[in-house]
Amino acid sequence: MDLYESGHARTYAKSEKSVSAASRMPWARFSCWVECVCVVTFDLELGQAIEVISHLRKTNICYLSFPDSYSGCLGDTQFSFRVRQSVGQKSSWFVEEDIYSREAPVTLQRDPGHYYGYVYFRQVKDTTVKRGYFQKSLVVISRLPYVNLFQSLLQLIAPEYFEKLDPCLEAVCNEIDQWPAPIPGQTLNLPVMGVVIQVRIPSKNDKPGSSPLKQAYQEVKNIQRFTYLSSFKCFQSLLIHIQMLWELMLLGEPIVIMAPSPTISSETVLALTSCIAPLKYCCDYRPYFTIHDSEFKEYTTRTQAPPNVILGVTNPFFIKTFQYWPHIIRIGELKMSGDLPKQVKVKKLAKLKTLDTKPGDAFISSKKKVQSAILRRHLLELTQSFIIPLERYMASLMPLQKAIMPWKNPPQIRSFSREEFMKTLEHSGPQLTSVLKGDWMEWYRQCLSPNFDGWYRLRHKEMSHKLESLHLEVLCEADLLLWIKDKSEVEIVDLVLKLREKLVKAHHQQLPVKEEVLQKLESYIQTIITSLPEDLQAVLKRH
């Protein structure tokens, strides 16, 4: 393990040499879960003087690891952020990643273009420090969106680290390097600091909205269990607007969440993105966003329409910066005290297009807790009402199985036609069964958004893989030896090369085809090769 030292940021991570496709490499198991662990401190003279760090990603991480000064966070604070990967930076890879990518729910896939940061920040009075406060963050960087797991992990290791420092952190990293890889559908015991975190890795075959069955867990001493589902408790003051928020998520509309702390900001953004599960939220989102972020200019420019992104902010500066955005949700009161710059003080906040959600504004009593399970089920039913007509129409685009011939390429999936799809809604649309009333026809015209595009690309890919698998099965059932009897050597060699290409494609794309089908096809290839002259056999066996 290398210890990177740079000003106020220290990063425990895998060395560049260890980023490879071999499980025997150092820190390979660590890479399955965590990209790196960072320690961020505040320097009185430099402040957050990130210019001393040349790597852009580290710059973003350093700023995002501290709450905004207006948040006034004393004691221990936990929150999350999401940051874009630097251009040209290589992704780490682990041996079981193909299995994970194939079996994990689409909403929990490793993110190839972004990192998730999970922060445990401590700020307490300390007379031994010139500034008067101890300020430090322990940050776990990962590509896995397992918010509850990593926040639970930080609750265990951060307090201990702040007391014992480096030796404690190095021991924890070594323990993580002993964890088994995250395989969907499996229940894993993850030991750390004398405690076992027991977790069932979700699978795409799980029933939507379900929780792991109790019998899936084992009785283990000193155990902590975690669920991957986002908490909806942050919606307590938003319940009266929940349907509108769900619609905004489906449409991929630009939204700003103005919150009094990064904890509330990040929890709300993450809960919003999970509103449309099992659909994946395909637009950009930042659970915690600051004025120092490298995408600040990109997201605040007035020369073009706001991008499809959800931003969670705490700095009052953003009140004016984002006043032209179409949707602003203000949760609680932003702390306006202190010496705010004059340009930040907005005289007439009432003119902003905000959804003001002060505590107690919702239709439930503030003394009652939001029942996350009930709300989750309600949102799931809404999303499924939306998806079912699309799924039914997509199924109609699939060629009939009888049209798949062994001697021809698989038939093409018919193109999605918006007009044709809209016609199907008249007889099988959600307005016939859903409790949600309204102009569904008009709503579907609007909601073919980036989230729809993401869903469509995924479904089209799955259908294409299914077609390829069916074609392989048809080939295995065909009498290939009879077919080659009256064919020239050129045609036979061409057949062998094409069959080999299909086998390589089946393994590379992890096609949903039985292993015996692939073995049978490989056997056919070998038999066909032996029917050729020896010189051709030698050439084909080398290739």
- Residue 228: per-residue pLDDT: 64
In the Cβ-directed half-sphere of 359, how many Cα atoms lie within 13 Å?
12
Q: pLDDT per residue over 200-226, tens digit each?
A: 999 988 887 665 544 344 444 455 665
Q: pLDDT per residue over 403-421, tens digit each?
A: 999 888 899 999 999 889 9
Highest-pLDDT range among 121-125, 205-209, 270-274: 270-274
- Residue 87: per-residue pLDDT: 62
Q: How far apart are the first and last CA of the chain?
A: 41
Is pLDDT of 66 > 60?
A: yes
- Residue 266: per-residue pLDDT: 96
- Residue 68: per-residue pLDDT: 82
Q: pLDDT per residue over 21-31, tens digit each?
A: 444 566 888 98
Q: pLDDT per residue over 361-412, tens digit each?
A: 333 333 345 477 888 888 998 899 889 999 999 999 999 999 999 888 899 9
User: Out of 122-131, 259-268, 327-336, 350-359, which region has the weakest mean confidence (pLDDT)?
Assistant: 350-359
The 3-class secondary structure across 44-87, one letter per residue, is CCCECCHHHCCCHHHHHHHHHCCCCHHHCCCEEEEEEEEEECCC
Is pLDDT of 452 > 70?
A: yes
* Structure confidence at residue 441 as a pLDDT band (50, 70, 90): confident
- Residue 543: per-residue pLDDT: 63
- Residue 28: per-residue pLDDT: 82
User: Out of 438-452, 459-473, 519-533, which region has the weakest mean confidence (pLDDT)?
Assistant: 438-452
Of residues 435 and 218, more confidence is placed in 435
Query: What's the average model confidence in pLDDT over 505-510?
Result: 85
- Residue 355: per-residue pLDDT: 52
Residue 359, Cβ density class (10 Å: 0-12 exposed, 13-18 middle, ≥19 buried) = exposed
* Structure confidence at residue 335 as a pLDDT band (50, 70, 90): low
Query: What's the average model confidence in pLDDT over 507-520?
Result: 88
* Structure confidence at residue 126 as a pLDDT band (50, 70, 90): confident
Closest CA to 273 of 323, 298, 308, 307: 308
Separation in Å, CA 178 to CA 31, 144, 152, 495? 11, 18, 18, 47
Q: Locate 169 and state its tokens.
A: 């952190």
CB 393 within 8 A of CB 386: no
* Structure confidence at residue 112 as a pLDDT band (50, 70, 90): confident
- Residue 54: per-residue pLDDT: 34
- Residue 196: per-residue pLDDT: 92
Is pLDDT of 350 > 50?
A: no
Contacts 24+ apart (CB under 8 A), 520-529: 520/476, 521/472, 521/475, 521/476, 524/476, 524/480, 524/481, 524/499, 525/496, 525/499, 525/500, 527/481, 528/480, 528/481, 528/484, 528/492, 528/495, 528/496, 529/496
The mean of the pLDDT values for the chain is 80
| Residue labelled with tokens 């008249």 | 426
Q: Locate 273 and state its tokens.
A: 């993105």
Of residues 18 and 75, more confidence is placed in 75
d(CA 171, CA 192): 9
CB atoms closer than 10 angstroms to residue 92? 21
CB 6 within 8 A of CB 12: no
Query: What's the average model confidence in pLDDT over 299-326?
Result: 90
Element (H, E) at 188: strand 187-192
